[in-house]
């Protein structure tokens, strides 16, 4: 989900942090700067009012400024000037009686300043000086400053996110790939920092796991081969040891030897499939293989009175015929084995997109939901109470999956307890 994405979280956090930091810096600078501006403007106004009052006092005769002098001074200073005779004391701020220049409200930054006009014999009038807005010095543009901070965050943060988060996502993809069993694809080491060390650790782990799996499979093949020799000799010697009148113990030993031989054959098939040797690939039709498999098992179907619905459409692929026959035969045998007498089996082949599909469905007892995730694991059987005759070795579906993956495909199984099971083998199709 996007709301839980690390990229989005880091991005929003960084942008908000930059905006907050930039706003505090701008407001702090603005406050300090504005305070200095106020004081400077105030002193400037006081000095200008004092200069204007002295200038007019020098040109005043009888309490009236020289003609045109007031207007010219107002134009040159860009202010409004008003001269009031001193006798109209009530119209002046009381502070003018002891202060040369007085702001209107006692603050040096006010727009109106009063200045006393002193003559030779004392005060002759008062000068009202009104400064026109806007102020001589403008405030700093706070909105523009904040906008620049946001713009810098939008430009600078994404590269940081890509630099930090991209390797994390790449390592997540590598972990998922290794968890899915892909140990053949190397992990590229693209950096020289801590992320590079992590990539190197993943690559070393992949190599070790791949070597361990290969050693396990080779050991399994070697042991199976070694066991088959003594078993073959036991199979030959058992009838000779039984003599002309074999008893039940000899028959039981023969069944056990045959069962062990079958189990070893299954182990060999599983190990060969997992080692993925070079395949003898050739163009094949799954429908043709399915017809041959059904013909070989027709006697078993008749003996169990099982109805088989067949829908075989052409499904061309390229692969090893013996391995694909083994995988398809395992799925078909499972369906026959677990379908009750007079039950129904459906066998179909088709092309689904770029995949050739072999599908087998039955109306057997089904598999418990808790067991479904484990059915392709070696030696796993959903019902531990089953015997070898009913439950098999637990390797059939493992072999199917190994062969499917060896051909670049997959095996899938769906089941509902009490309803039946559907199994599919999917391999790449060819046109």
- Say how far residue 349 (Cα) sits from the centre of its chain: 37
CA distance 243 to 414: 50
Q: Which residue has the higher pLDDT, 120 or 134?
A: 120
Nearest to 330 by CA among 280, 402, 417, 222: 402
Reported as a single tens digit per residue, the pLDDT across 153-187 is: 677 777 777 777 778 788 888 888 887 777 778 88
Reported as a single tens digit per residue, the pLDDT across 332-378 is: 999 998 899 999 999 999 999 999 999 999 998 888 888 888 888 87
Confidence of residue 310 (pLDDT cuts 50, 70, 90): very high
Reported as a single tens digit per residue, the pLDDT across 224-236 is: 667 777 777 777 7
Averaged confidence pLDDT in the chain: 76
pLDDT at 289: 94
> 180: how many CB neighbours lie within 10 A of its CB?
8
**What is the pTM (predicted TM-score) of this model?**
0.49
Percent of the chain surpassing pLDDT 70: 68
pLDDT at 335: 92
Separate counts of helices (H) and strands (E) for the chain? 10, 13
Query: What's the Cα-to-Cα distance from 100 to each of 54, 93, 116, rounded to whole Å?
Result: 10, 11, 5
Percent of the chain surpassing pLDDT 90: 18
pLDDT at 144: 65
CA distance 80 to 131: 7
Return the CATH fold of 181-277: Helix Hairpins (1.10.287)
> 329: how many CB neighbours lie within 10 A of its CB?
19
Domain spans of the chain?
Answer: 2-131, 181-277, 281-428
Instruction: Judge whether 52 and 81 are in contact, CB under 8 Å.
Output: yes
Examine domains 181-277 and 281-428 and report if their fold is the same. no
Nearest to 429 by CA among 399, 400, 407: 407
Beta-carbon contacts of 364 under 8 Å, excluding residues fewer than 6 positions away, are 335, 338, 339, 340, 343, 420, 421
Angle between helices 6-59 and 69-77 (to 10 degrees): 160
Three-class SS of residue 49? helix
Domain at 281-428: CATH code? 3.30.565.10
Burial class (CB in 10 A: 0-12, 13-18, 19+), 30: middle
Confidence of residue 143 (pLDDT cuts 50, 70, 90): low
The DSSP secondary structure of 358-420, one letter per residue, reads EEEEE-S----GGGGGGTTSTT--S-TT--HHHH--S-HHHHHHHHHHHTT-EEEEEEETTTE
Measured CA angle at 231 (ends 226, 236), to 5 deg: 135
The lowest-confidence range among 101-105, 177-181, 262-266, 387-391 is 387-391
The lowest-confidence range among 102-106, 174-178, 243-247, 288-292 is 102-106
Reported as a single tens digit per residue, the pLDDT across 193-217 is: 777 888 888 888 888 888 887 777 7
């Amino acid at each position: 989900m996007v709301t839980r994405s690390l990229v989005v979280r880091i991005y929003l956090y960084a942008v908000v942090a930059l905006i907050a930091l930039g706003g505090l810096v701008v407001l702090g600078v603005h406050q300090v700067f504005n305070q200095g501006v106020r004081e400077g403007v105030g002193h400037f106004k006081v000095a200008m009012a004092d200069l204007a009052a002295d200038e007019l006092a020098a040109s005043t005769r009888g309490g009236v400024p020289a003609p045109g002098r007031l207007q010219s001074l107002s134009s040159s200073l860009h202010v409004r000037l008003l001269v009031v005779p001193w006798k109209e004391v009530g119209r002046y701020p009381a502070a003018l009686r002891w202060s040369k220049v007085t702001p209107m409200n006692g603050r040096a930054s006010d727009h109106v300043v009063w200045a006393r006009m002193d003559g030779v014999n004392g005060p002759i009038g008062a000068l009202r000086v009104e400064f026109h807005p806007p102020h001589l010095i403008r405030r700093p543009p706070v909105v523009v400053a904040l906008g620049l901070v946001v713009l810098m965050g939008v430009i600078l943060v994404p590269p940081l996110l890509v630099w930090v988060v991209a390797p994390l996502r790449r390592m997540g993809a590598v972990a998922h790939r290794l968890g899915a069993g892909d140990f053949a694809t190397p992990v590229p080491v693209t950096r020289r920092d801590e992320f590079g060390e992590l990539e190197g650790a993943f690559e070393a782990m992949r190599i070790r796991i791949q070597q361990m799996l290969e050693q396990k499979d080779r050991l399994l093949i070697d042991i199976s081969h070694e066991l088959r020799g003594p078993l073959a000799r036991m199979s030959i010697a058992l009838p000779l040891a039984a003599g002309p009148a074999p008893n039940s113990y000899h028959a039981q030993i023969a069944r056990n030897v045959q069962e062990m031989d079958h189990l070893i054959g299954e182990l060999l098939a599983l190990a060969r499939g997992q080692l993925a040797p070079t395949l003898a690939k050739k163009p094949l039709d799954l429908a043709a293989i399915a017809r041959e498999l059904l013909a070989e098992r027709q006697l078993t179907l008749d003996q169990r009175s099982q109805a088989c619905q067949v829908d075989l459409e052409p499904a061309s692929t390229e692969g090893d015929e013996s391995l694909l026959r083994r995988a398809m035969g395992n799925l078909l045998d499972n369906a026959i084995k677990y379908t009750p007498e007079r039950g129904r089996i459906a066998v179909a082949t088709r092309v689904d997109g770029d995949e050739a599909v072999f599908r087998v469905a039955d109306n057997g007892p089904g598999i418990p939901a808790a067991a479904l995730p484990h059915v392709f694991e070696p030696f796993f059987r959903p019902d531990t109470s089953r015997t070898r005759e009913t439950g098999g070795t637990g390797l059939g579906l493992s072999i199917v999956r190994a062969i499917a993956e060896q051909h670049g495909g997959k095996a899938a199984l769906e089941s509902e307890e009490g309803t039946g099971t559907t199994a599919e083998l999917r391999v790449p199709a060819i046109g």
